[in-house]
């Protein structure tokens, strides 16, 4: 039996902080996936760009309902169904 948890980090208003948390959670050896809701990530803001680079470098799976984010695009309905698979969902 594994103690590994499946954790979803939901990015809304505090984009940079949410991405930093997602990267930091990988230290616990859990499965982390990121869900970006609605808004386009401000990749010109260093507070967002730096943690986004970490998330990309460590190859976390990223989903978004906004195709402009350059991640796997899924609808809100698909996202809601997928979130049921996680042990924890952390909203930001």
Name the residue among 29, 25, 22 with its Cα closest to residue 63. 22
* Residue 65, C-beta contacts closer than 8 angstroms, at least 6 positions apart: 36, 37, 38, 73, 74, 75, 76, 79
Q: What is the pLDDT of residue 1?
A: 46
The rounded average pLDDT for each run of 10 residues, N- to C-terminus, in the chain (92 residues) is: 87 95 93 96 94 95 96 96 97 94
* Residue 11, C-beta contacts closer than 8 angstroms, at least 6 positions apart: 18, 19, 34, 35, 36, 37, 41, 92
- Token reading at 48: 């967002």
Q: What is the pLDDT of residue 85?
A: 96
Q: Which CATH number fits domain 6-91: 3.40.1260, 3.30.110, 3.90.25, 3.40.720?
A: 3.40.1260
């Amino acid at each position: 039996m594994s103690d590994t948890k499946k954790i979803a980090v939901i990015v809304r208003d505090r984009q940079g902080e949410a991405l930093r948390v997602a990267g930091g959670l990988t230290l616990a050896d859990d499965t982390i996936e990121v869900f970006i809701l609605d808004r386009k990530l401000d990749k010109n803001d260093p507070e967002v760009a730096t943690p986004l680079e970490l998330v990309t470098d460590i190859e976390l799976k990223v989903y978004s309902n906004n195709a402009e984010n350059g991640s796997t695009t899924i609808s809100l309905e698909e996202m809601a169904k997928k979130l049921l698979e996680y042990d924890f969902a952390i909203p930001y």
